[in-house]
Structure 1
Amino acid sequence: MNKVSVIMPCYNDGEYIEEAISSVFSQTYKNVELIIIDDGSDNEQTLDVLGRITGPNIKIVKTNRARPAGARNAGIAKATGKYILPLDADDKIEPDYIEKAVRVLENDESIGVVYCYAELFGERSGKWDLPDYSLDKMLLDNIVFVTALFHREDWEKVGGFNTRMQHGMEDYDFWLSIIEIGKGVYQIPEVLFHYRIKPSSRTTEFLTNSGIVKETYQNIYRQHPQLYEKYKDQYALVLRDALIDQLFINKTLQEGILILERIKRIPVLKSIVKKFIMK
């Protein structure tokens, strides 16, 4: 049974980390080590919790605000497992996730990344509405969350997570790097991962600045010239389809706004619309 190293960066997540750890050691797959990376936490609760964590299959690595990419790289550098599974300190996994993901990797050498369906919890709940995996969709945007199983040797081949990406999306860049070396991606059609939604996070902040979003995606494109050259025709068609979809969405929104403005001009309906909007 090959070892799996779970890599858990933690920055002031003492409120949640014990739940994440519990999900790791509740796995049906038993050959698991947990590497926690304390990335410069300065919250008392977090420091207290981290100070109490011990166990024969637990290592704690300290970094100084290396951010998620750097913290994951530091943890993987200390890992002894054949397979790697990143898991953020505020998320959790189902008990059979690792067992099912390892089985996929060991039954098909062409697969480099295994992930699953996911659910949200915390500030919002319900199924995470990500599309099913396809290369077409992956060329356009990231549809694979970071809590996916991969080979440690592939991490070495591609040079790890890119620490130069200041605004996130280092997981997208990493998956594209693995695809670029000829490995496939497999999605287990079951909910085995739970992603916590918090009031504020790096992701929500990233999505509020269109300039940063554009710059980040441009950098990702430039960092994978061979991949996008190989699939240039496919990528062009996917981009065209996405543009057409956006045009139709905008048209529908504009038509809805016009209808709403017309309704507002009718005195009887104006008060109804006002009450509805205020709810």
Structure 2
Amino acid sequence: MCKVSVIMPCFNDGEYIKESIDSVLNQTYEEVELIIINDGSTDELTNNILNNLSHPKIKVFKTSNIGPSAARNFGISKSTGSYILPVDADDLIHSLYIEECVKQLKQNDNVGIVYCYAELFGEQTGRWDLPEYSFEKMLLDNIIFVTSMFRKKDWEIIGGFNENLVHGMEDYDFWLSILELERKVVQLKEVYFYYRIKKISRTTKFSDDPRIVKETYKTLYLNHSEFYQRYSNEYAMVLRDALIEQIYINKKLTDLGPILNKVKRMGKVKRFIKKILIR
């Protein structure tokens, strides 16, 4: 049986990490090790939990706040599994997830990434509205979350997660590197991953700054420029489709503008009348 190494970086996530650990230990697939990287946590609760963890399947290492990418790379370097599954310390996985991922990797040696459908919980709930996987969509944007299984040997070939993408998107960069190896992607048609939404996270900070977003995507393109040139026709087509969709959306919003303004004014009138009636 092939061993799976679950890699869990943790920075001040003591409030959630016990749930995350339980979701890993409760897997139907037995040959699992959990490697937790305490990445310079300053929270007393987090450090107490990690300092007192004792389980035959768990190893805890400490680093000096090197960031998620470097922490994942460090954890993978300490792993003994053939397959790798990153799981953040505030997220959860279904008990069948590892077993189902392993099946796909064993069936086809050219499968490089296995992931699934996902649900949101925390500040938002419901299905994570990600599109169905396609190679063309991956050329345009990341549609695969980091909690996806891949082969350790591919990580070694690539050289690990890019540690210079300090604002995020290192998972997208890594997936593009796996696609450059001509590996296939399998998307399981079940919800096996649960992504916690917080009020403030690295993702929300990234999305709020268009300058950082532009710079990051530029870096991603330059990191994989030969790959994008190889598939320039596919990339051009998907960019064209995205542009047309955006033009259509903008036109709809422009057409709705007067209606929305009218509704807004009506709302103000209703509040004014309500105030008078209350008096």
For the aligned pair, the TM-score class normalised by the smaller chain equals over 0.9
Question: Match for 2:269 among 263, 268, 271?
Answer: 271
- Match of 1:199, SS state, is coil
Q: Give the deviation of 1:260 after TM superposition.
A: 2.7
Moved over 4 A (4+): 262-265, 272-275
RMSD over equivalenced CA pairs, Å: 1.5
Q: Give the deviation of 1:274 after TM superposition.
A: 8.4
Q: Give the deviation of 1:262 after TM superposition.
A: 4.7
Q: Write the distance in 2 (CA, Å) between the matches of 1:207 and 1:126.
A: 20
Q: Write the distance in 2 (CA, Å) between the matches of 1:58 and 1:264.
A: 56
Report the count of equivalent residues: 273
Amino acid at match of 1:271: V
Q: Give the deviation of 1:264 after TM superposition.
A: 6.1
Q: Give the deviation of 1:229 after TM superposition.
A: 1.1
Q: Write the distance in 1 (CA, Å) between the matches of 2:136 and 2:272.
A: 43
Amino acid at match of 2:269: S
Q: Give the deviation of 1:261 after TM superposition.
A: 3.1
Q: Write the distance in 1 (CA, Å) between the matches of 2:264 and 2:5.
A: 59
Q: Write the distance in 1 (CA, Å) between the matches of 2:131 and 2:80.
A: 33
Q: Write the distance in 2 (CA, Å) between the matches of 1:274 and 1:175.
A: 54
Counterpart contact for 1:180–1:226, Cα < 8 Å: no
Q: Would you say 1:220 and 2:220 are equivalent positions? A: yes
Counterpart contact for 1:35–1:59, Cα < 8 Å: yes
- CA gap 1:269/1:174 in 2 versus in 1, 3 angstroms: closer
Amino acid at match of 2:87: L
Tell me the equivalent position of 1:164: 164
Q: Write the distance in 2 (CA, Å) between the matches of 1:264 and 1:206.
A: 30
Q: Would you say 1:71 and 2:71 are equivalent positions? A: yes
Report % sequence identity.
Answer: 56
Q: Give the deviation of 1:209 after TM superposition.
A: 0.5
Q: Give the deviation of 1:226 after TM superposition.
A: 2.1
- CA gap 1:264/1:48 in 2 versus in 1, 3 angstroms: closer
Tell me the equivalent position of 1:102: 102
Instruction: Give deviations 1:32-77, integer Å, cap 9, x for gaps.
Output: 0000000000101101111121111111111111100000000000
Tell me the equivalent position of 2:118: 118
- CA gap 1:274/1:97 in 2 versus in 1, 3 angstroms: farther
- Match of 1:147, SS state, is coil
Q: Write the distance in 2 (CA, Å) between the matches of 1:272 and 1:208.
A: 33
Tell me the equivalent position of 1:35: 35
Q: Write the distance in 2 (CA, Å) between the matches of 1:261 and 1:141.
A: 33
Q: Give the deviation of 1:273 after TM superposition.
A: 8.8
Tell me the equivalent position of 2:236: 236
Q: Give the deviation of 1:108 after TM superposition.
A: 0.9
Q: Write the distance in 2 (CA, Å) between the matches of 1:264 and 1:108.
A: 56
Instruction: Give deviations 1:229-251, integer Å, cap 9, x for gaps.
Output: 11100100100110110111111
Tell me the equivalent position of 1:60: 60
- CA gap 1:258/1:225 in 2 versus in 1, 3 angstroms: same
Q: Write the distance in 1 (CA, Å) between the matches of 2:222 and 2:272.
A: 48
Counterpart contact for 1:264–1:273, Cα < 8 Å: no
Amino acid at match of 1:39: D
Q: Write the distance in 2 (CA, Å) between the matches of 1:60 and 1:143.
A: 30
- CA gap 1:244/1:40 in 2 versus in 1, 3 angstroms: same
- CA gap 1:263/1:59 in 2 versus in 1, 3 angstroms: closer
- CA gap 1:146/1:269 in 2 versus in 1, 3 angstroms: closer
Runs of 5+ consecutive residues of structure 1 not aligned to the other structure: none
Q: Write the distance in 2 (CA, Å) between the matches of 1:94 and 1:269.
A: 45
Q: Write the distance in 1 (CA, Å) between the matches of 2:267 and 2:194.
A: 43
Q: Write the distance in 1 (CA, Å) between the matches of 2:213 and 2:91.
A: 24
- Match of 2:258, SS state, is helix
Q: Give the deviation of 1:201 after TM superposition.
A: 0.1
Q: Give the deviation of 1:259 after TM superposition.
A: 2.0
Question: Which is worse superposed, 118-127 or 47-56?
Answer: 47-56
Tell me the equivalent position of 1:130: 130
- CA gap 1:269/1:16 in 2 versus in 1, 3 angstroms: closer
